[in-house]
Amino acid sequence: MRIHAIPVLSDNYVWLIEGDQGQCAVVDPGEAAPVLAEIERRNLTLMAILLTHHHVDHCQGVAGLRARFPVPVFGPALEAKTWVTHPLANLESFDLPQIGRFQAWHTPGHTLGHISLISDGAAFVGDTLFSAGCGRLFEGSPEQMLASLDRLSSLPGDTMIYCGHEYTADSLRFAHFAEPNNESIVQRIRAVNEARAAGLPSVPTSMSMEEQTNPFLRIREPSLRAAILKHAGSGSLSDADAFWALRCWKDEFDDLPLLPRYVQND
């Protein structure tokens, strides 16, 4: 299984998964034309489309792709109204011959139905986990998102993480601001700057790298927790509240409008 990044829109990535005999699948096609061009350039045949969630920048290329290749669309059962022909429940697995076996993990937070797709040392995580960051909580609660991130953190350290956007440089700026003494973040900033200057993607990343440099996976680290408490003006916070305080802190840092906090949906 070989995985290629296709940049689309302003900062999205579509992931093209190439099988052994000319077949391929694509993850989160935000546009059709660049994907069709890459499939043709590599002389491949599209066998399936995989979706992590319903946001248009991840699925608006589905119609154009299916006009050329009328293939099945695998995606979250809780968001099956958006193009999905094969809805996937939590822990449901499926095989794509000559490409690989995939398992859906329900990872809500960014959206309520969001799934991540796990396959042979790779995790396609959409907008749940970013390189050095995490998605905004448009539908889910902090408790849900933290549980999703904890779940992804259980993957082996050498698992490669394929996220939906090129946000690493911006995310690392905040990570360094929140953890100025984290040398792993400093080293990663240098490496990412070099990659981007050379016109290369900063992703995929590895789970071990994320555990060292992603503040949203590090809220239980004492030094970062102290910084979160100081910024929030609080003496004590639960893990979910600390995560939410960190997420709001990053939104302030990025000068984004703050989102309301949603209550846990059980």
Residues 76-112: tens digit of each pLDDT: 999 977 789 999 999 999 999 999 999 999 999 999 9
Give ∠ CA 62-8-100 in degrees, rounded to 5: 60
Provide mean pLDDT across the span 5-11.
Answer: 98
- pLDDT, position 256: 78
Report H helices in the chain: 33-41, 56-59, 62-68, 142-153, 168-178, 183-197, 207-213, 222-232, 239-253
pTM beyond 0.85, yes or no: yes
Tracing tokens 């893990």 back to the chain, one arrives at 239
Residues 182-206: tens digit of each pLDDT: 999 999 999 999 999 999 999 999 9
Q: Is the pLDDT of residue 32 over 70?
A: yes
Residue with the larger pLDDT of the pair 81 and 65: 65
- pLDDT, position 81: 79
Alpha-carbon Rg of the chain, whole angstroms? 18
Q: Is the pLDDT of residue 42 over 80?
A: yes
Above pLDDT 70, what percent of the chain? 98
Above pLDDT 90, what percent of the chain? 93
- pLDDT, position 157: 99
- pLDDT, position 266: 43
Helix (H) or strand (E) holding 130: strand 129-130
Give SS3 for 240: helix
- pLDDT, position 262: 67
Confidence of residue 263 (pLDDT cuts 50, 70, 90): low
Residues 135-150: tens digit of each pLDDT: 999 999 999 999 999 9
Confidence of residue 259 (pLDDT cuts 50, 70, 90): confident
Ordered by where they begin, the domains of the chain are 2-253 (3.60.15.10)
Q: Is the pLDDT of residue 264 over 70?
A: no
